[in-house]
Amino acid sequence: MARADAPPPPPPLAISAAAARGNHPLLGKTPLAVFSALALLAIPYASPKLERFQVARIPGTEDDVEQEPVEANAAIPAPSSTGEITLKASENTGTITNALPTDGKEVEVDPELLAKTRGSIAIENPASMDAFYARLAKTVGKEPGAVTRVLHYGDSVITSDFISGTMRRKLQKDFGDAGHGFILIANPWEWYFHNDVDHGASSGWTSSRITGPFAGDGLYGLGGVVFKGAGANAFFATTTKGDYGRKVSKFELFYLEHPQGGDVELSVESATKIPGSKPEVVRFSTKGPAKVSRKKSVSVTTPLENGAKLSVRAFGNGEDRLYGVVLEGDGPGVTYDALGANGARVRLLKGIDADHWKEQMALRDPALVVFQYGTNESEEGSVAKDYEEVLGEVLDRARAAAPNAACLVAAPLDRAEKGGTDGLRTKKVIPKLVDAQARVAKAHGCAFWNTFQAMGGEGSMAKWVRARPALGSGDFTHPTPAGAEVIGDLLHKSLLAGYEAWQAKHPTAPKLPPALTPQEPPR
């Protein structure tokens, strides 16, 4: 059977009576040879079973989708690769391959592509989410200053703010916009992108990353990257268009205080120029007697309708070690930090010094920490012998670092490979990784959300790639922006259903507004 997205084979050539008599100029030996060759070349496009014989990809089919490189092929850096990488000037630029839609319309999805027609699937080990729901209850009840912070660690899907971007928008629409959250100082990976915020950085920054080159002391900050750069600068600002990313009441610079620390200058001004206004400038030293995580907060006094912009300049006079900037409002509301690392595996989080991670978490005070890995682990073809042990150790470290937060493991997406009766099949290791994660999450006091099953389970990526609009990319691994929206929507529904179930056991806690009550409880 031909694929739905493949063009039909060319129709038979219509031959006139004159041509049949041999008088048509296109029926000479040479034209007929050309036509015969073209017809033979067209045959492989009529069936996916003949796909390997195709000499070129048809524009618009799944293999022609523009996408990021397949980061799953990246090997784990050797422990000896300690040092820094020099970064180019960067700007947060949205394109059709990374930015989420801004029209507010939900993606229409064929119900057969998902595990359920409506709603989503339930979060497993729901008692492990109590700390999150208790904090969210204060935000739902609109208590003054009640900010519910979510940290989402992961690989390339989160690096590009997929899933996390949708979650941020939906939760802020539901419960209030408390600011964009945490952003790295500069782009440490080409595909680093955040929706609904303006930011950029000059050249002159260097970085060490949990994915390598490594920092020798494991002091990577909240997002797994440390930046240095005498004379380099960066800026962070609210957006001036669209429905999201418009609010901020303070900026917070996360940095390391240490004996060789240098000077940093922070400058706050309106995101849209106000005639006669001048930026508010604060200059301070990052030097101190010991290595300690710090944050420097600056309030925003510009009119809200003009937005706000923070400029950060590493002056020098020592070594500035900076991590990122938080945009936050006064609340009540939600922030959602996308903390992805290209090519990451969960074992790389072990490279963060445990005491340092605890300091960073204390500065951020999250209500929920999400871990979503597995895509790069699947590149190994099998579940590593020590995988469950390593994952358990990371979860234990995270719970110790953020003892007041809930912990949630989100399974990897389905990943397809060539094979099967219809040309594509789920990589055999994916369900095994999902099962291993579910076991480890339960054993180590974390909740579990089965992304793989929510997508539709076995064979779902093949369906997502061939859907129209395409929900999966041509690498059979990453979602498209539309697919990321669908996954974010499913996780959002699961969180709302989980809160509703928690509230039923805590009747004094505020209920969700009727408009947010899930239409169908997850199963």
pLDDT at 54: 38
pLDDT at 92: 92
pLDDT at 116: 54
pLDDT at 519: 61
Place 9 in a pLDDT band, splitting at 50, 70 and 90.
very low
Tokens of 118: 């409506």
Residue 295, Cβ neighbours under 10 Å: how many?
17
Tokens of 259: 């004996």
- pTM surpassing 0.75? yes
pLDDT at 124: 97
Q: Is the pLDDT of residue 51 over 70?
A: no
Pick the most confident of 22-26, 75-79, 362-366: 362-366
pLDDT at 392: 98
Tokens of 211: 């994915």
Q: Is the pLDDT of residue 21 over 50?
A: no
Express each pLDDT in 286-324 by its tens digit: 999 999 999 999 999 876 667 899 999 999 899 999 999
Q: Average pLDDT of 72-84?
A: 61
With contact defined as beta carbons under 8 Å apart, do 199 and 239 qualify? no
pLDDT at 420: 76
pLDDT at 491: 96
Lowest mean pLDDT among 95-99, 182-186, 345-349, 399-403: 95-99
pLDDT at 523: 57
Query: Dihedral, CA atoms, 164, 359, 139, 517, nearest 10 degrees?
Result: 40
Q: Is the pLDDT of residue 137 over 80?
A: yes
Q: Is the pLDDT of residue 103 over 90?
A: no
101: left (phi over 0), alpha (psi -120 to 50) or beta: beta
pLDDT at 8: 33
Place 41 in a pLDDT band, splitting at 50, 70 and 90.
very low
pLDDT at 301: 84
Q: Which domains does the chain have, with CATH numbers?
A: 84-96+112-516 (3.40.50.1110)
Query: Dihedral, CA atoms, 376, 382, 386, 387, nearest 10 degrees?
Result: 40
Distance (Å, whole) CA 185 – CA 227: 7
Place 514 in a pLDDT band, splitting at 50, 70 and 90.
confident
pLDDT at 522: 58
Q: Average pLDDT of 133-144?
A: 98
DSSP string across 332-360: SEEEEEEEE-TT--GGGGGGS-HHHHHHH
Q: Average pLDDT of 119-123?
A: 86
Strand, coil or helix: 411:
coil
**Of 36 and 387, the one with more pLDDT:** 387
Residue 272, Cβ neighbours under 10 Å: how many?
15
Element (H, E) at 149: strand 147-154
Q: Give 452: exposed, middle or buried? Use CB within 10 Å, 0-12, 13-18, 19+.
A: buried
pLDDT at 80: 52
Give the chain's mean pLDDT. 85
Q: Average pLDDT of 212-227?
A: 97
**Of 10 and 109, the one with more pLDDT:** 109
Express each pLDDT in 176-193 by its tens digit: 999 999 999 999 998 899
Q: Residue 368's closest CA among 521, 181, 98?
A: 181
Place 521 in a pLDDT band, splitting at 50, 70 and 90.
low
Pick the most confident of 7-16, 34-43, 205-214: 205-214
Q: Residue 466's closest CA among 2, 34, 93?
A: 2
Lowest mean pLDDT among 14-18, 163-167, 345-349: 14-18
Q: Is the pLDDT of residue 68 over 80?
A: no
pLDDT at 104: 63
Lowest mean pLDDT among 107-121, 241-255, 257-271, 453-467: 107-121
Sequence-ordered list of residues with C-beta below 8 angstroms from that of 333, at least 6 positions apart, any chain? 139, 146, 147, 148, 172, 175, 176, 177, 178, 179
Distance (Å, whole) CA 334 – CA 78: 38
Q: Is the pLDDT of residue 512 over 80?
A: yes
Lowest mean pLDDT among 14-23, 33-42, 146-155, 473-482: 14-23
Tokens of 411: 């399974």
Place 331 in a pLDDT band, splitting at 50, 70 and 90.
confident
Rounded (to 5) percent helix, strand, coil in the chain: 30, 20, 45
**Of 79 and 486, the one with more pLDDT:** 486
pLDDT at 117: 43
